[in-house]
Amino acid sequence: MDFISNIFSWWGSSTWGVSWTIFKNGSFVGSDDYGNKYYEQITGIGPHGMPRRWVTYKDNAEASKVPAEWHGWLHHTFREPPTRENYNYKPWQKKHVMNMTGTTSAYRPSGSILTSSGYKSKASNYKPWRPE
């Protein structure tokens, strides 16, 4: 099954076409803490006069799995990848967390029916506006 899914699917891993492009034109630059691998074009330049850069995801393709430092490198905000320079986090930056929507770790505000305690009525706090 993995053989067939690697031919046709793009969400589970790299397709054969992407793997061939990496083999032919790509240079491995580094990987992040989540197992994603990053590559840069070694021959020619992309449409904007800069070499193309891309990521292959460890598991399902989800853009929110790319940490900020690698996102900056992919979009040519940083010249050097985080593996070649010491990326210094700003004091206000938090550790990267991928999008948790659809998982048990998703954000659920108080009053949501999806919280562990269920829906709580807030009728006692509600005061409708009445014009005078």
According to the model, what pLDDT value does residue 64 have?
84
Tokens 């691998």 map to which residue? Answer: 37
Q: Express each pLDDT in 11-40 by its tens digit.
A: 556 777 777 777 878 889 999 888 999 999
**Structure-token match 């070694």, residue found:** 42
pLDDT: is 108 or 4 the higher one?
Answer: 108
Most confident by average pLDDT, 18-27, 66-75, 117-126: 66-75
Higher-confidence residue: 47 or 123?
Answer: 47
Spatial contact of 25 and 41, defined as CB atoms under 8 Å apart: yes
Query: Which residues does residue 55 pair with via DSSP β-bridges, in sequence order?
Result: 38
- Tell me if the pTM is above 0.75: no
Tokens 């009728």, residue located: 123
Is the confidence at residue 48, as pLDDT, over 80? Answer: no
Q: In 3-state terms, what secondary structure has residue 97? A: coil
